[in-house]
Amino acid sequence: MHGVMGRPPGAATNNIATSKIMLLMLVVMTGVAPISLYMLVPALPVLATTFGRDISIAQMTVSLYMVGIACSQLVMGPLSDKFGRRPVLLAGLGLMVLAGVGSVFAQTLPQLIAARFVQALGGASGMVISRAIIRDLYPRERVGAMISLVVAALMIAQMVSPLTGGLLETAFGWRAILYLITGASLAITIFIALALPETRRDRAKSGGFRGDIGKLITDRAFVGYMLCQVLASQIIFAFAGGGPYIVVTQMGRSSAEYGAWFATTGFAYLVGNLLCVRFAPRHSLEGLIWFGLALQLGASLSNLIWSFAGLNQAPLWLFGTQMIVMVANAFVMANSAAGAISIRPEAAGTASGAMGFLQQGIGSLVSQSGAYLGGHSTTTLPLTAAIFAISIACACTMIFIVPRRNVVVSEKLIEQAEEDRPGGHCERSEAIHTAAS
């Protein structure tokens, strides 16, 4: 096994893990930052007009928010390993509430941008710590399914958040969006404070950020799973960046039609996560990743072939095949994330933070590259070729980096590994990992 199984002892913990309240908390803490991001997007043109600035300046309320999410995950994850999930999460959500109040009373666009950045720093704590909490509460085999379940519920909320923001702006003005975000943040903070127990145990084992990250980046399994998850996420960023230009500019369709077609990929991703939840009890984590990789590679290759044939100039071909890619992508992302945070359960927060930072940081560059490929081409070929290349790179991480787990480990090998790495019974699973790798 990679890492320690780490099933939390005690009936109380088991009750927490199986409760619907726990699932609800995981969904809201994960979703508060991204939903707040998407809810303001429909009001960007109004913001630019209200403050007399260019739309590119108003866009910074979104772009710097994404930077804040990336930076926050790198910090909040290790802090949750050191001080516990609950206090760090409450501190982050409290910061989001205070920044939300600042955004409500912002009188200039720079003030609003700064408040939104701080809001993201606090809100992203829920994104990174939720994955660590899942690893605290559930055994390795269930982590991928739980991540998929949380993402599935979150996807539904994210799909309606831009619509909610647009309706609020139309009916009550753009500040109504900020009032709702701040009020929801406060309600979630109170809910978490009242209902969430501390799930992080044995905090004394943590070696600090430098120690934890040093052990993680020298572990081939962690690096492989993390790169697999990060690269899989870049398919979404690349397509989201280039899709609008392809549909609107190349195909001559309306922005509303693009929005409708793009929603189909979000629905496909939702379906993929639900299927992952259904299949997880009967299949290994690695088996689900390989299934997703094979389907992802085959579908992205098909999209590339359609581009060569000229068929992708119709939205049905482009988005129909991309929907298959997104179903596969859900399998790859959820289960590779589960593999990464299961390597060293005592450093799950650090692992989650590093993975989230790379995902968001690289994603901003890939999204910009996708926009360039879609906006400076007359066909879909450059974008579909880029997505196919990312799919190949994603598969290569599992082929060449993640160690194989098909070695039959004998009692003699286990005893030998335990002699080489003394630590008694608590290190038995780690010893098996060493012998098998």
415 vs 63, higher pLDDT: 63
The pLDDT value given to residue 322: 94
% of the chain with per-residue pLDDT over 90: 46
Q: Which of 17-31, 174-188, 194-208, 270-284 has the lowest mean pLDDT?
A: 194-208
Structure tokens at 84: 């516990």
Token duo for residue 191: 């809910």
Q: Sorting pLDDT into bands at 50, 70 and 90, what band is 207?
A: low
pLDDT, mean over the chain = 84
User: Using CB atoms within 10 A of its CB, is residue 437 exposed (0-12), middle (13-18) or buried (19+)?
Assistant: middle
What does pTM read for this prediction? 0.79
pLDDT at position 10 is 44
For 343, list phi and psi in degrees, rounded to 5: -65, -50
Checking if the pLDDT of 203 tops 60, the result is no
Range ranked top by mean pLDDT from 89-103, 160-174, 190-204: 89-103
Question: Which residue is associated with the tokens 């829920």?
Answer: 126
Q: Which of 136, 37, 130 is nearest to 88 (CA)?
A: 130
Tokens in use for 382? 């450059």
Q: What pLDDT was estimated at residue 153?
A: 75
Q: Above 50 in pLDDT, residue 9?
A: no
> Residue 202's pLDDT is what?
64
| CA end-to-end distance (rounded Å), the chain | 9
pLDDT at 15: 59
Predicted pLDDT at 3: 39
Structure tokens at 18: 């199986």
Q: Mean of the pLDDT values across residues 310-318?
A: 87
Q: What is the per-residue pLDDT across 65-91, written as a single tens digit (0 to 9) for each?
A: 888 998 998 899 999 998 999 999 999
- The confidence score (pLDDT) of residue 272 equals 94
pLDDT in tens, 241-298: 888 888 888 888 887 787 788 888 889 998 999 999 899 888 999 999 999 999 999 9
Q: Which domains does the chain have, with CATH numbers?
A: 1-197 (1.20.1250.20), 205-406 (1.20.1250.20)
Residue 97 confidence (pLDDT) above 50: yes
pLDDT for residue 76: 93
* Residue 46 binned pLDDT confidence (cut-offs 50, 70, 90): confident
Q: What is the pLDDT of residue 367?
A: 81
